[in-house]
Structure 1
């Protein structure tokens, strides 16, 4: 039984076409800001909002801006897995639903990941160059987050 390369290519192409019909549900809240959203429970300065929107919200909120390639499988599955994992770890859209202690822990973790260049992910910034945090952006974010975290700690 001999399988030709042409048959393998045709079968692969058919599978590629079939998986295009699988289109999971997207974050449907784009543009909506829920009452529990991070920016609703804290007075977030405009520069911090801009940095968060550009570098964090696509994976860590219900407000994902999907790029054109998100309509093509398997890229879509890859994106969805990153978004799901990102929102499980931190979701700015539901930040107010966390306990004050958990909010403080989340803010502390954000600072650690920014300082260690873990976030945003290199796989994300490879395509989204504008999401790369400059030293100035890092300084602005870290300073504001640390002040906010300290204010949470002092309230408990």
Structure 2
């Protein structure tokens, strides 16, 4: 059995090397025009939850958006406590419902019982206010706004 695995591994390695060095390649094409996927702006917002009088105080919320020249939006959200970090990702095509606020959901339960508490993170790109809403069954929603001063914007 060991010798057949060694033989199989050796044959696989030889095949990979042969393919890598022996593949025919054509001429390099023209670079082309920049597409609509060119990144034109990034927006990074975040801060620690404070003043909610709940177990959520002290948790870090991060929202990051990448905007393309064609209007597409790629969004990530992070929720970080003293032990863990959980992230969510969303991609919106230009004009798609939700692209304006770039909502991203992160499932990270912060209250007992552990039953799937979720965070909804959105950004108003005009005012740069980030809104985090924590939802957990059996509790009222906790709305946590972050001011524009919690954001860094880079434009290219």
More helix by share: 1
TM-score normalised per structure 2? 0.25
TM-score normalised per structure 1? 0.25
Higher relative contact order (CA 8 A, sep 6+): 1
More strand by share: 2
Rg larger for: 2
